Structure 1
Amino acid sequence: MSPQDGFSPGDGAPDSVPPSVRAQLLATEHWSLLASRSTTQGEVLTRISMFLTLTSASLVSLALVGQATRFSDIFLLLAGVVLFTDLMVGLLTQVRVLNVAAEDIMYVLAMNRLRAAYVELDPGIAKFIMASPHDDQSGSVQTYYFLGRRSSWSHVAGSSMVFIHTVNSALIAILAGLLASVLGAGTGMAAAAAAAAGLAFLAGSSIHGYRSYASFWRDYRPVSPTPSDPATPSNAR
């Protein structure tokens, strides 16, 4: 079998390849995906921890400097520079979190596709697999939440993406309030500006994340779609 022929279940691969060899090749790929997924998740969690450590240390330092300088103009300048730096690091972290979320969907779909190959090799194991053997949106939902649960708002709200969006929104709110105070706004106006800027960023980030997720599924064509999924295009079957 030539390298470009490849193997996919049901593609008429030569019978000379024993099922045990095919299963071993599929399992090797499965473990490779698991390791890559674990490494990616560990890396992004480390990035988030570094960002939170930097932000918390910066805020503590600003509190000490503010007491020492009696919150003078020098303190306002220093606070602006420090908070802006924290925000830049936070935005870079947010970009990485978004990229990792897209990569994680890829890993889940790739492993779902391998499960479809396992089931084709041995149909009897299908009833023992809780994660989905289908590499479409319905299959990804079943693998993420098991038993095909669709009410996943709690999982979304508790995700790393929403968490980093919230932290960056708070930083933007603080910066907006600080800028409004420097420009001479009163306490009420500064608080209103801070709230508006923070909420606008949070809403914009959430909309961008949702559109990226929806765009992925519009362009994606599964190899082993869920048979009863009406959203699956007919040309993908």
Structure 2
Amino acid sequence: MSTDGGSPEGQQDAVPPSVRAQLLASEHWGLLASRSTAQSEVLTRISMFLTFTSASVVSAALVGQATKFSDAFVLLAVIVLCIDVAMGLLTQVRVLNVAQEDLMYVTAMNRLRAAYVDLDPDVAPYLMAAYHDDESGSERTYFFFGNRSAFSHVAGSSMVFMNCANAALIAILSGLLLTLVGAGTTAAVIVGAACGFAFLAASAYYGYRAYAGIWSRYTPLSPTPPDGPDL
């Protein structure tokens, strides 16, 4: 405890830059470890979902051959598809959560890099990742060279992959349910495809709203300068 009567601000200013750098580096490593764990976990979840879906479809096919595709097989197929859709939706929720968490970690590490630059401005030219904790800074950190379109980034994401997988399952389940109530094959295909595309559009809209909502509620500490990032 200080006995010189100084203010907390004065005590903070007395902390050596080397100590601050060590504290920032410790936090940086913690964020890196958390980000790596989250990415590994969500990839495992997706692999588990694909394995479960593949195994259930193969099992249904074997039952269909054994029962000569009787009414019992149709009932089993509906139950299996319902379970697959449920597992897919749960996985999709987790993928969306991890995508938001990943953006959180990237933004936090950008803020730490801004603190590094404050400690030593000469390191700024050597940082390819951004040191601005706003949307533009996060985009640069995701791709250092800055010439990749947002569409390719989104289209190639795990989130879109899960949206498409679940949309296909929902389309198949919808078409199968229609055939059970006596609808023709053409009607089942059209309605099933419409349900799948509707789910895909709704998921894309919800994901966009969730992403936009993050930046609308967040105030950056070191925003990107109006004339662009310092390259």
- Normalising by the smaller structure, the TM-score range is over 0.9
In 2, are the aligned partners of 1:113 and 1:224 still within 8 Å (CA)? yes
Could you tell me which residue of structure 1 aligns to residue 80 of structure 2? 82
Could you tell me which residue of structure 2 aligns to residue 51 of structure 1? 49
Structure 2 counterparts to residues 13-52 of structure 1, below 5 A:
14-52=12-50
1:11-58 per-position Cα deviation (integer Å, ceiling 9, x unaligned): 876442111111111000000000000001101110110000000001
Whole-Å Cα distance in 1 between the matches of residues 34 and 73 of structure 2? Answer: 45
Q: Structure 2, unaligned stretches of length 5 or more?
A: 3-7
Whole-Å Cα distance in 1 between the matches of residues 214 and 158 of structure 2? Answer: 19
In the superposition, the TM-score normalised over structure 2's length comes to: 0.92
Could you tell me which residue of structure 2 aligns to residue 106 of structure 1? 104
The alignment's C-alpha RMSD in Å is: 1.8
Secondary structure, counterpart of 2:161 in structure 1: helix
In 2, are the aligned partners of 1:142 and 1:149 still within 8 Å (CA)? no
% identical aligned pairs:
68
Identify the match of residue 198 of structure 1 among 196, 199, 206.
196
What amino acid is the match of 2:142? Y
1:161-192 per-position Cα deviation (integer Å, ceiling 9, x unaligned): 00000000011011001001101111111111
Could you tell me which residue of structure 2 aligns to residue 208 of structure 1? 206
In 2, are the aligned partners of 1:115 and 1:133 still within 8 Å (CA)? yes
Whole-Å Cα distance in 1 between the matches of residues 87 and 29 of structure 2? Answer: 33
Identify the match of residue 66 of structure 1 among 64, 67, 77.
64
Whole-Å Cα distance in 1 between the matches of residues 211 and 116 of structure 2? Answer: 28
Secondary structure, counterpart of 1:80 in structure 2: helix
Runs of 4+ in 1 over 6 A off after TM superposition: none
Q: How many residues align?
A: 223
Whole-Å Cα distance in 2 between the matches of residues 150 and 219 of structure 1? Answer: 26
Q: Does residue 111 of structure 2 align to residue 145 of structure 1? A: no
Secondary structure, counterpart of 2:53 in structure 1: helix
Could you tell me which residue of structure 2 aligns to residue 158 of structure 1? 156
Whole-Å Cα distance in 1 between the matches of residues 212 and 91 of structure 2? Answer: 22
Whole-Å Cα distance in 2 between the matches of residues 13 and 141 of structure 1? Answer: 36
What amino acid is the match of 2:224? T
Kindly tell me: are residues 199 and 13 of structure 1, through their superposed partners in 2, closer, same or farther at Cα, counting changes over 3 Å?
farther
